[in-house]
């Protein structure tokens, strides 16, 4: 229970602070591909892997998104694979801020030694995208996942920095199901 309260306080603080920051008007795009290295920790079990997320705008205010993640445990024979697809709706809060709501399905495969299991579940995301200045974007979100007869609420924080007109560097932190994941990668716009 304390973890949920702490996550809620962090999100409320970040969302409040994001409204105080001023930004130059840079339009958002929903046509991109993110790829990166993932470092995860769950109760002292470390894993390393790769992840990718693609987004494509299908109509004004609507986008489709696909995700893939593969993590391999560092200290034993174990792996985790996530594949997901969602549809999202976004709205402009002001010229520098968008709110995005995604709903989708997620497939997860897990193996450890001789044990393996897979399941399909649902995922809901609510994310605030805020343009801090013409080169730096900040994201803060809350997500809900229901899979393997369990559910949890998590948080997402990301910083996205433009390094070229169609390429951004990205640092991201996610925490859900007692797993902390850091991602370091690039976002390619198209």
Domain ranges of the chain: 2-189
Measure the CA dihedral 96/97/102/108, to 10°. Answer: 80
What is the pTM (predicted TM-score) of this model? 0.82
Q: Span 2-189: which CATH code?
A: 2.40.160.20
Helices and strands in the chain, H and E counts: 1, 10
Mean pLDDT per 10-residue run, the chain (190 residues)?
47 43 57 97 92 96 97 92 98 95 97 94 97 95 96 97 96 95 96
Give, in order, the Cα–Cα distances in Å from 80 to each of 11, 32, 50, 62, 87.
Answer: 27, 24, 11, 30, 24
């Amino acid at each position: 229970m304390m973890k949920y309260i702490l996550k809620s306080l962090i999100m409320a603080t970040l969302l409040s602070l994001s409204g105080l920051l001023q930004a130059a008007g840079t339009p958002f795009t929903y046509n991109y591909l993110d790829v990166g290295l993932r470092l995860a920790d769950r109760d002292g079990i470390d894993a390393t892997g790769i992840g990718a997320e693609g987004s494509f705008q299908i109509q004004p205010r609507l986008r489709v998104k696909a995700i893939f993640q593969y993590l391999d445990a560092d200290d034993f024979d174990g792996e985790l694979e996530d594949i997901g697809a969602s549809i999202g709706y976004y709205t402009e809060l002001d010229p520098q801020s968008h709110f995005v709501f995604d709903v989708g399905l997620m497939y997860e495969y897990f193996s450890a030694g001789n044990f393996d299991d897979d399941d399909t579940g649902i995922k809901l995301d609510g994310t605030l995208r805020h343009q801090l200045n013409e080169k730096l974007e900040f994201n803060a979100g809350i997500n809900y996942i229901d899979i393997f007869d369990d559910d949890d609420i998590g948080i997402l924080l990301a910083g996205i920095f433009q390094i070229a007109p169609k390429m951004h560097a990205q640092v991201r932190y996610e925490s859900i199901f007692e797993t902390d994941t850091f991602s370091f990668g690039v976002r390619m716009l198209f």
